[in-house]
Chain A
Amino acid sequence: MTSVEKIRKNRFIAPIFNSLESFFFGSDESVRRAPFIRDAIDLKRYMFFVIIATLPCTLAGIYLYGLRVLAVIGVSYIFGVGAEAVFAAVRRQDEIHEGAFVTCMLYALIMPPNVPLWVVAVGILFGTIFGKEVFGGTGKNIFNPAMTGRLFASLAFPDLMTKTWLLPVDGNLAGGFASWVSDAITTATPMTLFQRSGDIISNLQLFMGYFGGCIGETVKPLIIAGGLFLMITRVANWRIPLATIISLLFTATILHAIDQQAFAPPLFHLLGGGFLFAVMFMVSDPVTTPASRTGKWLCGILIGTLTVLIRTFTGYVEGIMFAVTIANMFTPLIDYIVLGIKYRVTPKGVI
């Protein structure tokens, strides 16, 4: 037995070896039954496109908050992919599944830039293990693992996650690329500022994202560009993001019309906080959202409405985390009801 064959048979090393081999050189499998030709897309390219779509946000995050962002991403990858590898070995999978690479990137981008690295590690471990692996791994998870990890970190370490925020690096053209971390600290994001004092920063400022916030969720043009890129390449479905945005604007408009002082205007809800980032990269996650087209619309409406309601009527300034997680729980029910109605039995037969 050659050393390569020995590695391939080793339960713990094989997933890592096979993953690296297939990552660098591709699959050598051929089709044994019809259809004898296959679409060129596979999960590696599919997931890789999500990472490409987040790259502008990542670069913007580094530019705004410093090179420490890379450390956050690195820790997220080490612990997230590590947990995935352990589970792949335990499950005797051939390879590490690609979903983990996207989860780690998205998780890092929704963390505050000054978060302690051990919190990053704990959060991604929780998200990967309890948000995905306990359900059976990529494709079988009920919750979005990145959002689950973020939710856990927010609830478990509220002081470390929400008390202080970094302001963008100021001074030179290279921005954060020339410094490790931004020195300027603020205690409020635009969302918390509105909740505390009712002050609203301008829509243009919100859109351009030059303020304190999570790593990847502040610069809106780049987020929109990333989201559109995913939709145009058909990696993400356009229905849920559109439904979420429409329902958010609709609910926020109604509330704002009722009381203009107490309730934030719709554009503030749209551009504020991590809503757009979550809509473009997490709400469009196909695994945790309904399979049916009508279900996708309903799920989007649920997320958009819940986001506004949570932001407005609870103590939490950011509602999208909870909205997405709650909508994830409703996904099987939504599909059950929608498909049940679509294929309902009538006296004339099935419609």
Chain B
Amino acid sequence: MDKLPVKQKKISFKGGYRFNKFPIIDTNLPCKTFEPEYVSIPLCTSDGQQLKPQVRQGHFVRKGDIIAKPSTPDINLTPVFASITGRIDNTVGAPAGSKATDTILIKKDASTVVPSAQNTLSPIRQECKIKQYLKYLPLLCGLPRIPSPAEVSHIFISAVNIQPIVVGINAWLHGNDQAARTALDFLRECCAQSHITISCHSKEIRSIEKFLSLNNCKDRCTLAVFPEKYPSDNRYFQIGILTGKPVSSIREPIDPGYLFLDMRSLILLGYALQNSAPPTDILVPVYCEDPDMRTIVKIPVGTSLEQLFSFLHIDVRGNRVIEGGLLTGKEIIDPTYILTRSTESLTVLPEKITRSFLWFLRPGRNLDSYTRCFASTLIPSEKKPTTGSQGSLRACINCGYCADVCPVGLYPNVLYNYATHDLLEEAIEKNIDRCVDCGLCTYVCPSKIPVASALYNAKQTIYTDCSHLIHNRSHCL
């Protein structure tokens, strides 16, 4: 049985974009672990619901203890757990930009004195049985509620990373492979009726096959081999492709029957299972210009950006820090920014804007372009991404590059006109809700028009003001 190859399904799609010769985080060193002196944990769920603190100043908490719960008993809301062992210092206001209004500060307590029973919360790990870990899935894969094992028909595990700065599958698995295997076994056991689809891209089939063979997991697995094109790693896009039904990115939430975990979440679930504790750590790939500084680091939830960068000896002066991918992330300005589960990656991008004489005549061996107007088409060499806009804002010239690269077959140039003229009904007619927010349309635009953000804003307006128009469309998930 083990010698049988994993069933493979080759995926192809129109549009998308191949980012050639961009940096890769593919280290053979195990990921670093950092435990800070203190953590500030935001008291809210991932969708912004505020939670009530269960601890007071001076309480001793151990890693995994519940420190905040929903004010109303809602079984679908997951509580907040202490991410380090220490003493509650105080409850303070959250930094600007955080969804939470309050945070709890926990200071590491190295004392070996066993705390008195009055100050200690009942440790959750004692009451944990393996199937209860399902309730951590909303934390890890953004589900709106805890799924019941019977309703999970498909488990999608995404091992695809096709952002401009790629984190190789080997980098994820190196040192974390045992945790990933534990999580995979757990999911197989838990959701016995479900089919597991692992998606990876063509270059990494061997790594995944090796991983699966060690796990003896070939029987119920299908390997979906995606082309090395962005946005193969997009959650909405992947589910749409794999289920054959386009996903509406406006009509949240995605059916809980589809359980979608990326490799990062799988590993974190594995660690939680191994330690018999809730998942309180996060894995963050960190990219900087210096290849030696690129790494994946395991930190507790609530670590601040300055703590992490101080540990990694990264100087952010003259750079910009971006949370999430380069095409879909957001800029972090405040150094006290708290890293939470929504922190998918950190990129330290140089703010280099080089101005040179008759710059538009440059050959451009290091420049990336969808067009073939640069020497990089003929002699590709490694790209060094910077934050320069590479041109000035102009009116749309209808070049059609955005429509060429759109992975879901939309006409972003047409939708942009509707979105900026408040013609939302027309935009809905032209399937604006199928936009997966990949940002490619803005990336390739020679007129430097922020198409993606205009479409995103239009979708937000539709979601709040006229979502009933979307609900008639039964073909979308």
CB-nearest residue of chain A to B351:
A30
> Does B423 make an interface contact (CB < 8 A)?
no
Q: Measured between alpha carbons, how far is A34 from B396 in the docked complex, in Å?
A: 19
Indicate whether A348 sits within 8 Å of B395 (C-beta atoms), given known contacts A37-B326, A41-B371. Answer: no
Q: Measured between alpha carbons, how far is A44 from B447 in the docked complex, in Å?
A: 10
> Does A339 make an interface contact (CB < 8 A)?
yes
A264 to chain B, nearest CB (A): 34
Indicate whether A31 sits within 8 Å of B389 (C-beta atoms), given known contacts A40-B374, A97-B395, A139-B396. Answer: yes
Which parts of A322-338 form the interface with B (CB within 8 Å)?
Answer: 335
> Does B149 make an interface contact (CB < 8 A)?
no
The secondary structure that dominates the B interface is: loop
Q: Measured between alpha carbons, how far is A147 from B387 in the docked complex, in Å?
A: 39
> Does A9 make an interface contact (CB < 8 A)?
no
> Does A163 make an interface contact (CB < 8 A)?
no
B389-A138 in contact (CB<8A): no
Indicate whether A40 sits within 8 Å of B369 (C-beta atoms), given known contacts A46-B446, A350-B429. Answer: yes
B472-A39 in contact (CB<8A): no
Q: Which of A40, A137, A237, A292 contacts B367 (CB 8 A)?
A: A40
A128 to chain B, nearest CB (A): 15
Q: Which of A42, A234, A343 contacts B370 (CB 8 A)?
A: A234
B369-A39 in contact (CB<8A): yes
Q: Which of A33, A94, A339, A343 contacts B331 (CB 8 A)?
A: A33
> Does A36 make an interface contact (CB < 8 A)?
yes
B389-A30 in contact (CB<8A): yes
Indicate whether A46 sits within 8 Å of B373 (C-beta atoms), given known contacts A36-B322, A37-B385. Answer: yes
Which parts of A39-62 form the interface with B (CB within 8 Å)?
Answer: 39-46, 48-49
Q: How many residues of B contact A (CB 8 A)?
A: 70
Indicate whether A25 sits within 8 Å of B357 (C-beta atoms), given known contacts A46-B373, A139-B398. Answer: yes
> Does A259 make an interface contact (CB < 8 A)?
no
A94-B371 in contact (CB<8A): no
Chain A residues with CB under 8 Å of B324's CB are 34
CB-nearest residue of chain A to B439:
A35
Chain B residues with CB under 8 Å of A41's CB are 369-371, 373-374, 390-391, 444, 446
| The 6 residue pairs across chains A and B that have the minimum distance between CB atoms | A42-B391, A139-B395, A40-B367, A26-B359, A35-B327, A349-B475
> Assuming A37-B164, A41-B369, A138-B395, what are 6 further A-B pairs, CB within 8 angstroms?
A23-B360, A28-B353, A34-B326, A34-B439, A40-B367, A343-B429
Q: 28 A-B residue contacts at CB 8 Å?
A: A24-B357, A25-B357, A25-B359, A26-B356, A27-B389, A28-B353, A29-B392, A35-B327, A35-B439, A35-B452, A37-B349, A38-B388, A38-B390, A39-B445, A41-B446, A42-B392, A42-B448, A43-B392, A44-B391, A49-B373, A136-B395, A139-B398, A233-B373, A235-B373, A286-B398, A339-B430, A343-B429, A348-B474
Q: Which residues of A contact B (CB under 8 A)?
A: 22-46, 48-49, 94-95, 97-99, 136-140, 232-235, 237, 286-287, 289, 291-293, 335, 339, 343, 345, 348-350
